[in-house]
């Protein structure tokens, strides 16, 4: 089952079904034992982010439920974040080296990578039992599943869709504001805020892809690419700050300066690319974007199910 809504079924049923699927997959990811532990945690964290994207759609319809469940999945993600965040920095460094392969060949990458691997090992030792960390996250996921079982929106279908669209519009509106702020300030934290808005936009477009796949799918793909670029930019910002805060742990200053210069250069590229894409994604006014989504959803809700058997012909 894909992470998307069937426009012909009620909103609450769609949310329950999509969320329960993500919960069940995350529990399986975290229950697989020691093999590929880092990858399993990475997949579980991505599912927790999808769950947050889902429950945020209920901010207008069920604000208390949305706030409580968003906090639940946020906290569960944090229990898994320590070692995974360390792995992300190593992957970011590898990506930086790949970006400049053939242009810059330097042993500095290996020096910095060794330092990051030592820091990751220290994080592994500090977090305690990996099984206990996974078990805590699994408990939260199972509690969230029970809460979802009780989710019922007792209103007319059109009103429920409208309240979900209102939540999508609020995220879109904030994205436009964050894009303007990031362009003006150039600060890493402002680009990180923009990334969160674009990440949620991509999730919301994915959920609604079936209302008009030919139009929604390309927009979702663009949002995903922009979010990936902004995510890598954030990893670079974290790595940059850590290297400057504790330069001696990263080897000779000459090695550090080479990597820092390349980080700055690639961040500039990533931010320019992401800002251009986000500008197109957020080009409509929030009201116009929401109205278009609402009309497409209403049309799709009224359309016949192509998978349904044809009605028998009249005698």
Residue 315 within a domain? no
Asked if 293 and 168 count as a contact pair (C-beta separation under 8 A), the reply is yes
What is the spatial distance between Cα 68 and Cα 312, in angstroms, rounded to a whole number?
Answer: 48
With left for phi above 0 and alpha for psi between -120 and 50, is residue 4 left, alpha or beta? beta
pLDDT at position 304: 80
Q: What is the CA radius of gyration of the chain?
A: 22
CA dihedral in degrees (102, 107, 113, 118; nearest 10)?
A: 170
Residue 1 within a domain? no
Residue 314 within a domain? no
pLDDT at position 311: 56
Angle, alpha carbons 5-8-13 (nearest 5°): 55
The DSSP letter of residue 60 is T
How many independent structural domains does the chain possess? Answer: 1
Asked if 52 and 70 count as a contact pair (C-beta separation under 8 A), the reply is yes
Residue 296 within a domain? yes
Tokens representing 180 are: 């303007």
First to last CA, the chain: 38
What is the spatial distance between Cα 223 and Cα 203, in angstroms, rounded to a whole number?
Answer: 9
Tokens representing 199 are: 């990440």
Which residue is associated with the tokens 């209103």? Answer: 155
Q: Return the closest-CA partner of residue 45 out of 146, 141, 145, 168.
A: 141
Tokens representing 84 are: 């995974």
Kindly list the averaged pLDDT for each block of 10 residues, start to end, along the chain of length 315.
Answer: 88 94 94 75 93 95 95 93 88 94 87 93 82 90 94 88 96 98 96 97 97 95 97 95 91 90 96 97 98 96 72 56
Residue 218 within a domain? yes
Tokens representing 215 are: 């139009």
What values do phi and psi take at 187, rounded to 5?
Answer: -80, 145
Residue 29 within a domain? yes
Residue 121 domain boundaries: 11-302
Q: Quick check: pTM over 0.85?
A: yes
* Residue range 187-209, pLDDT digits in tens: 999 999 999 999 999 999 999 99
pLDDT at position 105: 80
Asked if 160 and 61 count as a contact pair (C-beta separation under 8 A), the reply is yes
Nearest-10 crossing angle of helices 81-99, 253-281: 90
CATH of the domain at 52: 1.40.20.10
Asked if 3 and 50 count as a contact pair (C-beta separation under 8 A), the reply is yes
Residue 156 within a domain? yes
Residue 309 within a domain? no
Asked if 237 and 74 count as a contact pair (C-beta separation under 8 A), the reply is no
Buried b (16+ CB within 10 A) or exposed e, 201-222: bbbbbbbbbbbbeeebeebbeb
pLDDT at position 166: 97
pLDDT at position 1: 54
């Amino acid at each position: 089952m894909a992470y998307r809504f069937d426009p012909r079924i009620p909103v609450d049923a769609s949310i329950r079904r999509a969320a329960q699927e993500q919960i069940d997959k995350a529990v399986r990811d975290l229950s697989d034992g020691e093999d590929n532990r880092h990858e399993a945690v990475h997949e579980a964290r991505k599912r927790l982010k999808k769950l947050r994207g889902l429950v945020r759609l209920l901010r207008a319809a069920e604000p208390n439920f949305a706030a409580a469940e968003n906090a639940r999945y946020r906290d569960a993600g944090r229990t898994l974040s320590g070692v995974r965040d360390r792995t992300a920095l190593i992957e970011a460094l590898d990506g930086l080296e790949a970006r400049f392969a053939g242009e810059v060949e330097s042993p500095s990458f290996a020096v910095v990578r060794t330092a990051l691997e030592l820091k990751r090992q220290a994080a592994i030792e500090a977090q305690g039992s990996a099984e206990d960390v996974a078990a805590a996250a699994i408990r939260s996921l199972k509690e969230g599943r029970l809460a979802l079982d009780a989710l019922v929106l007792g209103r007319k279908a059109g009103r429920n869709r409208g309240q979900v669209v209102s939540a999508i519009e609020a995220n879109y509106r904030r994205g436009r504001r964050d894009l303007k702020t990031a362009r003006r300030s150039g600060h890493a934290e402002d680009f990180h805020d923009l990334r969160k808005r674009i990440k949620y936009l991509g999730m919301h477009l994915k959920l609604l892809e079936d209302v008009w796949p030919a139009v929604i799918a390309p927009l979702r793909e663009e949002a995903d690419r922009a979010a990936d670029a902004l995510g890598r930019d954030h990893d670079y910002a974290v790595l940059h700050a850590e290297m400057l805060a504790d330069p001696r742990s990263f080897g000779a200053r000459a090695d550090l300066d080479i990597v820092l210069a390349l980080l700055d250069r690639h961040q500039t590229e990533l931010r320019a690319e992401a800002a251009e894409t986000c500008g197109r994604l957020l080009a409509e006014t929030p009201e116009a974007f929401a109205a278009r989504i609402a009309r497409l959803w209403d049309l799709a809700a009224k359309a016949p199910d192509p998978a349904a058997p044809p009605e028998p012909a009249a005698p």
